[in-house]
Amino acid sequence: MASAARSGAAAALMVAVAVLALAAGGSAQLQQGFYKGKCNGIDVEAVVQGIVKSWFAREPPVIAYLLRMQFHECVINGCDGGLLIDGPGTEKTAAPNLSVKGYEVIAAIKAELERRCPGVVSCSDIQILATRDAVALGGGAAYSVRTGRRDRRRSLASDVKLPSPDYTAAQTTAYYGRLGLSTFDTVLLLGAHTVGATRCAAIKSSRLYAYGGRPGATDPGLDPAYAFMYKTYVCPNVPSSDNNVVFLDDQWSALKVDNHYYRNLQLRRGVLPCDQNLYNDGSTRWIVDLLANNAGLFTSLFPQALVKLSEVNVLTGTQGEIRKVCNRFN
């Protein structure tokens, strides 16, 4: 009994420390309600929310599109709209970004706001606001974000160095650590895979047919029933299956922002190695267990981690520019 009490107290203390860490950081020049009174009496955030809601009604996977876009945007030079730029050699053309979707949503929001108040709202703020609204529509918690970002005049494919889907837990946490994010932040942020998807090509070698570089070997750390399902029905070992969709959470939960992703890791059903490795490593397993066993904890903390990510290396004040359209510099 005493041991259980000590264990519970220790877990509570670790959560409290993690929450304090989540609350820290951010750009002091960003503000709540930055656009209030700056758009001819229009509520900028309500405009964004309305357009995202209309897209969600006809295309629910927009949740995953926008979450993924925020990740791919903010980890490269910060949340600066660089991913949105068209043209040869831009971030958008880097191999990991070729499958990013949702650009049309951002363009639609920008066009409406330019119509109402030209040159006021940045593309980078639109991305963060749109993601926030998509998370809430997907069953996540509603949360506030600070705005006032400006758009950077830089977008280079050579800058794009994203974390590998095959990373160990140590490699993943080190990657996000360089952005000022904690281990707890990192495990929370990978919870975005609750609405994510990949392709069979991403797991056929690493998990199903050549584990450890051995031809025909299947990752013994993958639930055998799931390995059988993937190999038999979803990702058979033929080239034509490479582009088949694999949900990173169970399909019935793949459009819900919930903690089911972590429960799957406990059951050895993580799809990408970087996901399952969070549970295989003792330094992150305890966080997975906390989030898997308490749905409310993930719901409340996931937005805080997204906010921290959204404030990485932002431009404010007179830095950068406010683009007229999001896919090209002024």
pTM here is 0.91
Q: What CATH number did the domain enclosing 101 receive?
A: 1.10.520.10
What pLDDT, on the 0 to 100 scale, is given for residue 260? 97
**80 and 207 housed in the same domain:** no
**199 and 300 housed in the same domain:** yes
Q: pLDDT tens-digit profile of 239-297?
A: 999 999 999 999 899 999 999 999 999 999 999 999 999 999 999 999 999 999 999 99
> Count of domains in the chain?
2
What pLDDT, on the 0 to 100 scale, is given for residue 27? 58
Binding residue ranges for heme b: 193
| Domain-embedded: residue 22 | no
Q: pLDDT tens-digit profile of 9-43?
A: 445 545 554 554 454 444 559 999 999 999 999 99
Binding residue ranges for substrate: 163
Q: What CATH number did the domain enclosing 256 receive?
A: 1.10.420.10
Which stretches of the chain are DSSP H helices?
2-23, 44-58, 62-74, 103-116, 123-137, 169-177, 183-189, 224-229, 260-266, 273-280, 282-293, 295-310
Which amino acids are annotated catalytic? Answer: 72
Q: Are 235 and 246 in contact (CB under 8 A)?
A: yes
What pLDDT, on the 0 to 100 scale, is given for residue 4? 46
| Domain-embedded: residue 58 | yes
User: Which residue pairs, CB below 8 angstroms and at least 24 apart, start in 298-302?
Assistant: 298/188, 298/191, 298/258, 298/259, 298/262, 299/140, 299/141, 299/257, 299/258, 299/259, 300/141, 301/18, 301/19, 301/22, 301/188, 302/135, 302/140, 302/141, 302/188, 302/191, 302/192, 302/257
Q: pLDDT tens-digit profile of 181-213?
A: 999 999 999 999 999 899 999 999 999 999 999
**133 and 219 housed in the same domain:** no
**196 and 287 housed in the same domain:** yes
Q: How confident is the model at residue 158 (pLDDT cuts 50, 70, 90)?
A: very high
**241 and 178 housed in the same domain:** yes
Q: Are 315 and 73 in contact (CB under 8 A)?
A: no
Binding residue ranges for Ca(2+): 78, 80, 91, 194, 250, 258
Neighbouring residues of 101: CB distance < 8 A, sequence distance ≥ 6? 65, 68, 69
| Domain-embedded: residue 129 | yes
Mark which of 139, 159, 179 sits at the end of a domain.
159
Instruction: Find the radius of gyration of the CA atoms of the chain.
Output: 20
**218 and 185 housed in the same domain:** yes
| Domain-embedded: residue 180 | yes
**104 and 130 housed in the same domain:** yes
What pLDDT, on the 0 to 100 scale, is given for residue 28? 58
Is 91's pLDDT higher than 60? yes
**185 and 63 housed in the same domain:** no
Q: Give the pair of three-digit tokens for residue 302.
A: 């996931």
What pLDDT, on the 0 to 100 scale, is given for residue 232? 97
- Exposure string (b/e) for 20-48, b if CB count within 10 Å is 16 or more? ebbeeeebeebeeebbeeebeebebbebb
Question: Would you give the distance in Å from CA 228 to the centre of its chain?
Answer: 29
| Domain-embedded: residue 314 | no
Closest CA to 264 of 220, 307, 223: 223
**87 and 144 housed in the same domain:** yes
**244 and 300 housed in the same domain:** yes
Binding residue ranges: 78, 80, 91, 163, 193-194, 250, 258
Task: Identify the residue whose tokens are 């033929």.
Answer: 238
Q: Provide the residue range defining the domain that includes 275.
A: 169-309
Question: How many alpha carbons fall within 13 Å on the CB side of residue 308?
Answer: 24
